[in-house]
Amino acid sequence: MGATTVHSPALTYFSMLSLLSLCPPFVILLWYTMVHADGSVVQTWNFLKQHGLQGFLEIWPRPSAIAWKLIFVYGAFEAALQLILPGKRVEGPISPTGHRPVYKANGMAAYFVTLVTYISLWWFEIFNPSVVYDHLGEIYSALIFGSLIFCVLLYIKGHVAPSSTDSGSSGNLIIDFYWGMELYPRIGKSFDIKVFTNCRFGMMSWAVLAITYCIKQYEANGKVSDSMLVNTTLMLVYVTKFFWWEAGYWNTMDIAHDRAGFYICWGCLVWVPSIYTSPGMYLVNHPVNLGTQLALYILVAGILCIYINYDCDRQRQEFRRTNGKCKIWGKAPSKIEATYTTTSGETKTSLLLTSGWWGLARHFHYVPEILASFFWTVPALFNHFLPYFYVVYLTILLIDRAKRDDDRCRSKYGKYWKLYCNKVPYKIIPGIY
Ligand code: NDP
């Protein structure tokens, strides 16, 4: 089975080389700018202009023993929770080879245990989360190298010990490494590697670091600013929503279509803990005072966006789960019955919802996703651009994702997808794009 639903080899080489060569230094520069250069890109730029490559190498922290220890303890704790905590048996969607992965849905329990444990360690003065902030550069440095090795191991596993039939080589080493070999790699029967990398390590680290930044500001100033409170609350609401809906995430592109390779795994292990959390990282030493009224407006707007994003996902999944026998905005749903053929030659049918949120645009759910990220960044106000990097990056990512998803669905559903595009002509923003 080839990686036929992704970009062309030329684009893959280009994006892989860019990702490999630009993302690691970017993570370090972003951390350096936020923590040591007042969040000012100009200040970092002047430093680099003055000190050149040597200066850059000097600011790149070496992965220290404490960084490895923190990563290892956190990773082992999350892996243990994934294995041990009870959860409902959940089936994922049928794969192109007709295989259906089975999961234990214990994400919310793992999230709860993680946050309670982390806050208790601080509260009872057993471990101070400020230590994580103080070693953040070394942690990112260790994650950059450690995750690369992890991806090499995934590649080797895909060759010598694939976990299921949803695996195989495209015949091109670079594409295999970049896009991955296996759709559902596991250790043993039940330890799902993508659930670990994407959810329990990546997404969980987002919440853990949001709390870390908040505590660090408190430890440094003796109080937490309202801007930090709004940022941390919105990020926590977002991550809580994610774990509440984690089994739904197992039906999305990340899990059901993107294989476990450098693109998705390195992204979740390094990019999520560093870039996704960066507005909070900025606020630690930039405690803006918004005033109660403005803080509340931003908070409510952010929560509303997170809710709408959640409701879009929920609507699609409820519609699929009930086979279209549900109410969408109080009415029977309008739909298209789309047939397609699996790689094993079987003919199957999927329902495409064409009313509710999914009737506004084919990827309308990305609008509230982007707006929510704006609302948890805007407490930083507009003194510097860098806190907004995630919002800009997310916008580009989701525009690309809408294209990738459309291409994939067009090749899967053919004329039925065309019918859907005629009925719902806009990709993301109704009436505009
Ligand atoms: P989904 O995978 O949830 O939805 C797209 C899939 O749904 C398509 O591949 C298709 O799959 C099916 N589908 C498409 N149109 C319809 C329709 N009209 N009716 C029913 N099914 C349809 O999307 P994403 O993975 O992109 O997003 C999931 C969530 O993750 C969103 O909330 C998004 O905002 C968020 N997200 C966040 C990111 C971040 O970095 N912060 C990045 C990406 C996503 P099928 O083959 O089953 O038909």
The pTM (predicted TM-score) of the whole model is 0.92
Residue whose pair of structure tokens reads 């849905």 in the numeric block: 105
Mutation test residue for ligand 1: of 251, 358, 409, the one with most atoms within 8 Å of CB: 409
Nearest CA, atom 37, ligand 1:
369
Which pLDDT score is estimated for 7? 64
Q: What is the mean pLDDT of the chain?
A: 93
Which pLDDT score is estimated for 170? 85
Going from the Cα of 189 to the center of ligand 1, the distance in angstroms, rounded, reads 27
Nearest CA, atom 46, ligand 1:
409
Nearest CA, atom 9, ligand 1:
405
Can you list the residues of the chain whose pLDDT is less than 70? 1-7
Mutation test residue for ligand 1: of 194, 237, 316, 319, the one with most atoms within 8 Å of CB: 316
Going from the Cα of 41 to the center of ligand 1, the distance in angstroms, rounded, reads 34
pLDDT one-digit tens code per residue, 418-429: 999 999 999 999
Which pLDDT score is estimated for 258? 87
Which pLDDT score is estimated for 6? 55
Which pLDDT score is estimated for 175? 87
